[in-house]
Amino acid sequence: DAGVTQSPTHLIKTRGQQVTLRCSPKSGHDTVSWYQQALGQGPQFIFQYYEEEERQRGNFPDRFSGHQFPNYSSELNVNALLLGDSALYLCASSSPLAASLTYEQYFGPGTRLTVT
């Protein structure tokens, strides 16, 4: 059973460019969350997608947007990249049952984004 997968593994972009990161949830999961983890820091919640809609959003600007597809996979888009957007971007998935009980989220290995 494949866990949460993310692509690409690493990415280098220039300031001002746009980037798209991709995530496939664990089998049986329908909810996808995105987190930004700066070097030496804990992950920070960006937003969560459920039933193809953004259900909750953290304290991130509108430059960060997302999408969820009918097969539950998800994309994170970041426009007008800043140097401060350099971080590890983590995707996490969960199932409806987990969401209502213990809220166990399964994390992917992340995409390392470097903005130069």
Partner 1 sequence: GDSVTQMEGPVTLSEEAFLTINCTYTATGYPSLFWYVQYPGEGLQLLLKATKADDKGSNKGFEATYRKETTSFHLEKGSVQVSDSAVYFCALRSGAGSYQLTFGKGTKLSVIP
Which residues of the chain form contacts with partner 1 (CB under 8 A)?
4, 31, 33, 35, 40-45, 48, 55-56, 58, 90, 92, 99, 101-110
Phi, psi of 98 (to 5 degrees): -60, -35
CB of 16 to partner 1, least distance (A): 29
What ranges in the chain are assigned the alpha helix state H? Answer: 96-100
Q: Is the CB of 2 or the CB of 101 nearer to partner 1?
A: 101
Tell me the C-alpha distance between 115 and 95, whole Å.
Answer: 33
55: left (phi over 0), alpha (psi -120 to 50) or beta: alpha
For partner 1, the closer CB: 55 or 63: 55
Q: Specify the residue, 75 or 106, whose C-beta has the smaller distance to partner 1.
A: 106
Find the shortest distance in angstroms from Cβ 36 to partner 1: 11
Minimum distance between the CB of residue 58 and partner 1, rounded to whole angstroms?
A: 6
Tokens representing 105?
A: 């989220």
Q: Which is nearer to partner 1, 12 or 104 (CB)?
A: 104
Residue identified by tokens 């401060």 is 84
Work out how close the CB of 98 gets to partner 1 at its nearest, in angstroms, rounded to a whole number: 10
Residue among 21, 13, 8, 10 at smallest CA distance from 81? 13
